[in-house]
Every structure is written in structure tokens, then in C-alpha cells.
């Protein structure tokens, strides 16, 4: 039997009596801790896959010790620039031992009440629909009564809009410019060479 569980943001495949290292937990050494984010449980006969977690499942563990991981060297360098940097890092970790994997409560039992709750709101919405249609029918005559008045107001403003449009079009037209006549360039007389004068 094994389970896949989310512990401090990481997923682990765990079995009973297994020891593993996880990110530092805020639990004292020697105390027990329970993890509820179980993503999958395989009992050998059946596999329960969570959506996203298996409901009612949990993994119990015991905190053995808190420690630091092995040193990791972080070296940075930019060639031909005279830059290099060396840093060290040791990750804070917790060693735990898995004591039990429990699969309690059935998903089918919890799904049945949820289905009933979904049916109840559907019935309420159907009951509210006629009331909404009555309110819409009452509001419809008022809207039709207001439409003629609204139509009369823009009719009075239309001539003023036309005059302003005429003014703007007249103001926007630039004066027609005639292209300047190009003067033909005077052709320079060919220069006589010194040999021409002798002849």
C-alpha cells in the first residue's frame, strides 16, 4: 500500500515505516503530524485518485529530527570581465517517518448530498422566473410611454447640429494652392576649347 501526498509544497510517494526528508516543518521533534493533501492511494486492490485530493484520506507521520542538508556551492563567473562569486547554501530540512496511511470516508457518500443541493437551487430558480417575467411586463409599458418623449427631443436638436457641421466643414477646407510654374533651366553654351580658337 502506498500513497502520493503533498508535504510542504512537494509531492512524495510514501509507504508505511518509510523515512524521508522534507522541507522544514514547524513541528517540534518527537511530535506527530498529519497530512491531509493526499492525491492518490493504492491499496493493492483498488486505486483512489483525488480530484484534486482524496476526501477523508490522511497520512500520519512522526518528526524525527530537524537538520540542514548538504552544502551546495553556487559559483558565478563572467569571463573577460574580472567577475566571479562563490556562495554556499545549506537547505533547512526535517526528517520524518511515515506511521500510517488511512483512507476513511467514501466519496460516494459525500457526493449524494451535493447532488441534492444542486437540485434544490434549480427548483428555486424556476419558481422565480414567473415573477421576473411579471416585473418585465410591468416595466415594458413604461418604457414604451417614455420612448415618444425621448424621440421628440433629438428632433429639435437636429437642425442645430447640421449648421455646426456645415460651419466645421467650411472651416476645415484649406485654400487651393496652385503649383508654382517651374522655370526651365538655361542651357549653358558649350565652352570652346583652345584648339577651336586656332582653327
pLDDT in tens, 94-131: 999 999 999 874 443 344 444 455 555 555 555 455 55
| Element (DSSP H or E) covering residue 23 | strand 19-23
Pick from 88, 58, 69: nearest CA to 23: 69
Q: The sheet that has 38-42: what strands, in order across it?
A: 10-14, 2-7, 38-42, 47-49
Q: Which of 32, 62, 138, 197 is catalytic?
A: 62
- Those residues with Cβ within 8 angstroms of residue 97's Cβ, 6 or more apart along the chain or in another chain: 17, 18, 19, 61, 62, 64
**pLDDT tens track for 152-177:** 555 555 555 555 555 555 556 666 66
Provide mean pLDDT across the span 132-161.
52
DSSP code string of 57-87: EEEEEEEEEEEE---EEEEEEETTTTEEEEE
Peptide bond into 52 cis (omega under 30): yes
Indicate the domain borders of the chain: 2-107, 119-151
Count other C-beta atoms under 10 Å from residue 172's C-beta: 7
pTM: 0.49
Task: Please say if 62 is a catalytic residue.
Answer: yes
Amino acid at each position: 500500500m502506498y500513497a502520493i501526498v503533498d508535504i510542504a509544497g512537494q509531492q512524495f510517494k510514501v509507504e508505511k515505516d518509510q523515512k524521508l526528508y522534507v522541507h522544514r516543518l514547524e513541528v517540534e521533534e518527537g511530535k506527530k503530524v498529519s497530512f491531509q493533501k493526499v492525491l492518490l492511494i493504492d491499496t493493492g486492490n483498488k486505486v483512489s485518485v483525488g480530484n484534486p485530493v482524496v476526501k477523508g484520506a490522511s497520512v500520519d507521520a512522526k518528526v524525527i529530527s530537524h537538520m540542514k542538508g548538504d552544502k551546495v556551492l553556487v559559483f558565478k563567473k563572467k569571463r573577460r570581465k574580472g567577475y566571479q562569486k562563490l556562495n554556499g547554501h545549506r537547505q533547512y530540512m526535517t526528517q520524518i517517518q511515515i506511521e500510517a496511511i488511512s483512507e476513511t470516508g467514501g466519496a460516494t457518500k459525500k457526493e449524494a448530498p451535493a447532488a441534492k443541493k444542486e437540485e434544490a437551487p434549480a427548483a428555486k430558480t424556476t419558481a422565480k422566473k414567473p415573477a421576473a417575467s411579471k416585473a418585465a411586463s410591468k416595466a415594458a409599458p413604461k418604457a414604451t410611454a417614455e420612448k415618444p418623449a425621448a424621440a421628440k427631443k433629438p428632433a429639435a436638436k437636429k437642425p442645430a447640429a447640421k449648421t455646426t457641421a456645415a460651419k466645421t466643414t467650411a472651416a476645415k477646407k484649406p485654400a487651393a494652392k496652385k503649383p508654382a510654374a517651374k522655370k526651365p533651366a538655361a542651357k549653358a553654351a558649350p565652352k570652346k576649347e583652345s584648339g577651336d580658337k586656332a582653327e
